[in-house]
């Protein structure tokens, strides 16, 4: 029904917001399924949301921490980044969405997981009564095809054995530690690849599952029936077809039913976009005169299912377009394959639900899934077979000392190099290192000195001299730090040095590590691989691993996953 006011027919009543008062002395507040109960304040609601989706840790509740968490949520989900719990942010928190956290994973899983095989058996354990099983089967098949079209993955329905992915409809407490919240709010969730419940996708059966634009019907224990010109008209010459809004009449545009052009007071509409051209019309359902309920702060459309709510206290939500099982399933299957949420609002893996007709994968989705599994054919090279789903700690790449690799001939095509040891922006140009010796390098923007790191040693080159090798312990790093794998310098006289899951901030004037370090890379740069080599290029931070990079903006917002060869070196894709 969108934003249009729903009209009333005969003994059924729809209301949005406030309507005519009853004879009660105080407003009647109705608690709907899915609404926050218990008189929560906005701050309490926000804290629960931020905890649930990974922006706050348990026990963090100071004003400064809450502001930072709100700012991070705003950065990822679209509201203007203010750190303030404003109306726009609260509205975003109330939108229907996926139940998987935006930061971190379910507390039973760690590490970046993917399947170690390409052919995945699937089992559908039950169905929602909202859709015929054949319709649901087709929606799931199309949702899997979204991912199999761009990867070597295949999905096979089985009725026994041990599937990798189980599909389940459930309500509230449904057998895992993450209950649903009745209608609206959390739509579904899924677990990353692995044994047991991992890889499974769960859908909230308190939702109204459709294909996103399905016919709206009355359902026992689901909804009452509210008449609307969006559903039908009567009389006229259009056989009950619904209004088409807006429509043109007498050269003017009308966004709803009108009495214009009639002397009898009946409300009518065109059932095509242009009445002047097609002469098709119908009469709109009329407003009932039954007294309405006064409601406090509600925005959902609802209706009484008897002639008197005051007497019978019977009600239901008005029919809506429901949630597209295909779109929600395609999103959840992305999680089941190993993808986390995207911050790109047009991406399928963006956490908030919105219906998009003829939806297609965004390039951000494609890059993410092809990073994990490669392409099925043509265009881009197939990577090595997927790694095991078992977690491996970020470790330094092994160094072969007995047979050092020869340096790449400068005349050789760089596009033929599968992986580089390091990349750095030096003297205004990107440098790609491939000789087994340089781990990372950066240039101080102020002094123009260039720093190279190899193992536990570093060198400093100025315009007149070369200093080194010196031990990284001279910088204040402890003996257990095996080396620096990534680095970049900023205009504030500081450089960041990365090694696996930790990083340090280096004062370039004193060549000492600042107090308060090391810090956790994942805490300040969520979503990037821990065992990456890193560099600063054109104002963005790049975290590289194997053939791929994760680009992070200066506001620490990940906005791209790409290929070193195709997106940085501009190699041809053939």
Annotated binding-site members? 98, 130, 164, 174, 176, 181, 186, 189, 200, 202, 204-205, 207, 331, 335, 341, 349, 439, 441, 534
DSSP assignment string, 402-433: SSPPPPPPTTS-GGG-S--SEEEEETTEEEEE
Q: What letter would DSSP give residue 274?
A: B
Identify the CA nearest to 319 among candidates 31, 95, 1: 1
Q: Which residues pair with 457 in a beta bridge?
A: 454, 471
Phi-psi region of 208 (alpha: psi -120 to 50; beta: other; left: phi over 0): beta
Cβ 193 vs Cβ 164: under 8 Å: yes
Q: Which residues pair with 204 in a beta bridge?
A: 170
Q: Which residues contact 442 (CB under 8 A, 6 or more apart)?
A: 424, 425, 426, 450, 451, 487, 488, 489, 495, 535, 536
Binding residue positions for Ca(2+): 130, 164, 181, 186, 200, 204-205, 207, 439, 441, 534
Binding residue positions for Zn(2+): 98, 174, 176, 189, 202, 331, 335, 341, 349
Q: How far apart are CA 75 and CA 50, in angstroms?
A: 13
Cβ 126 vs Cβ 137: under 8 Å: no
Give the β-pairing of 201-204 and 165-170: parallel
Q: Considering the candidates 332, 340, 418, 482, report the single residue annotated as catalytic.
A: 332
Q: Which residues pair with 423 in a beta bridge?
A: 432
Identify the CA nearest to 433 among candidates 448, 450, 449, 419: 419
- The reply to whether 332 belongs to the active site is yes
Cβ 95 vs Cβ 47: under 8 Å: no
Residue in the structure block whose two tokens are 């977690």: 391
39 C-beta neighbours (distance < 10 Å), count? 6
Phi-psi region of 153 (alpha: psi -120 to 50; beta: other; left: phi over 0): beta
Helix and strand counts by DSSP (H, E) for the chain: 9, 30
Q: What letter would DSSP give residue 387?
A: P
- Total residues belonging to the chain: 574
Q: How far apart are CA 44 and CA 533, in angstroms?
A: 40
Q: How far apart are CA 506 and CA 477, in angstroms?
A: 10
Q: How far apart are CA 466 and CA 463, in angstroms?
A: 8
Where in the sequence numbering do the catalytic residues fall?
332
């Amino acid at each position: 029904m969108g934003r249009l006011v729903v009209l009333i027919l005969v003994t059924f009543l729809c209301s949005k917001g406030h309507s005519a008062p009853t004879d009660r002395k105080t407003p009647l507040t109705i608690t709907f399924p899915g609404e926050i109960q218990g008189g929560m304040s906005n701050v309490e609601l926000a804290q629960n949301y931020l905890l649930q989706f990974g922006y706050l840790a348990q026990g963090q509740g100071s004003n400064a921490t809450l502001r930072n968490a709100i700012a991070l949520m705003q950065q990822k989900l679209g509201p203007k980044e203010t750190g303030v719990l404003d109306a726009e942010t609260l509205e975003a928190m109330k939108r229907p969405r996926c139940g998987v956290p935006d930061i971190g994973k379910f507390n039973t899983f760690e590490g970046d997981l993917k399947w170690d095989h390409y052919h995945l058996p699937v089992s559908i354990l039950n169905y929602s009564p909202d859709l015929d099983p054949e319709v649901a089967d087709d929606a799931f098949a199309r949702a899997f095809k979204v991912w199999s079209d761009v990867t070597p993955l295949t999905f096979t329905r089985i009725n026994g054995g041990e599937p990798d992915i189980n599909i389940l409809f459930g309500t509230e407490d449904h057998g895992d530690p993450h209950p649903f919240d009745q209608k609206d709010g959390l739509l579904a969730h899924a677990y990353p690849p692995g044994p047991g419940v991992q890889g499974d996708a769960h859908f909230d059966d308190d939702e109204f599952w459709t294909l996103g634009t399905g016919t709206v019907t009355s359902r026992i224990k689901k909804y009452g029936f509210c008449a609307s010109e969006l559903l039908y008209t009567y009389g006229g010459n259009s056989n009950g077809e619904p209004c088409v809004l807006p429509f043109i009449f007498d050269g003017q545009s009308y966004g709803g039913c009108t009495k214009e052009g009639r002397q009898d007071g009946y409300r009518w509409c065109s059932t095509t976009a242009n009445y002047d051209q097609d002469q098709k019309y119908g009469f709109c359902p009329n407003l009932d005169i039954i007294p309405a309920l006064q409601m406090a702060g509600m925005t959902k459309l609802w209706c009484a299912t008897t002639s008197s709510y005051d007497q019978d206290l019977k009600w239901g939500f008005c029919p809506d377009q429901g949630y597209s099982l295909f779109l929600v399933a395609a999103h959840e299957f992305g999680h089941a394959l190993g993808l986390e949420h995207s911050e790109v609002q047009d991406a399928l893996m963006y956490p908030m639900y919105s219906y998009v007709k003829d939806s297609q994968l965004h390039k951000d989705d494609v890059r993410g899934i092809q990073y994990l599994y490669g392409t099925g054919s043509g265009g881009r090279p197939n990577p090595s077979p997927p790694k095991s789903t078992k977690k491996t700690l970020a470790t330094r790449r092994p160094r072969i000392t007995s047979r050092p690799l020869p340096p790449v001939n400068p005349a050789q095509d760089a596009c033929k190099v599968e992986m580089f040891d390091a990349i750095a922006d030096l003297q205004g140009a990107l440098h790609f290192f491939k000789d087994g010796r340089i781990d990372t390098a950066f240039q101080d923007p102020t002094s123009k000195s260039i720093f190279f790191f190899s193992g536990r040693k570093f060198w400093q080159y100025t315009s007149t001299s070369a200093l080194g090798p010196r031990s990284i312990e001279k910088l204040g790093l402890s003996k257990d730090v095996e080396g620096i794998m990534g680095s970049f310098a900023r205009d504030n006289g500081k450089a960041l040095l990365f090694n696996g899951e930790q990083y340090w901030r280096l004062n370039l004037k004193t060549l000492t590590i600042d107090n308060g370090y090391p810090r956790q890379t994942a805490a300040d740069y969520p979503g990037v691989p821990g065992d990456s080599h890193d560099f600063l290029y054109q104002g963005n931070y790049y975290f590289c691993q194997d053939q791929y990079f994760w680009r992070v903006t200066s506001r620490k917002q990940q906005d791209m996953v790409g290929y070193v060869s195709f997106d940085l070196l501009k190699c041809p894709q053939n």
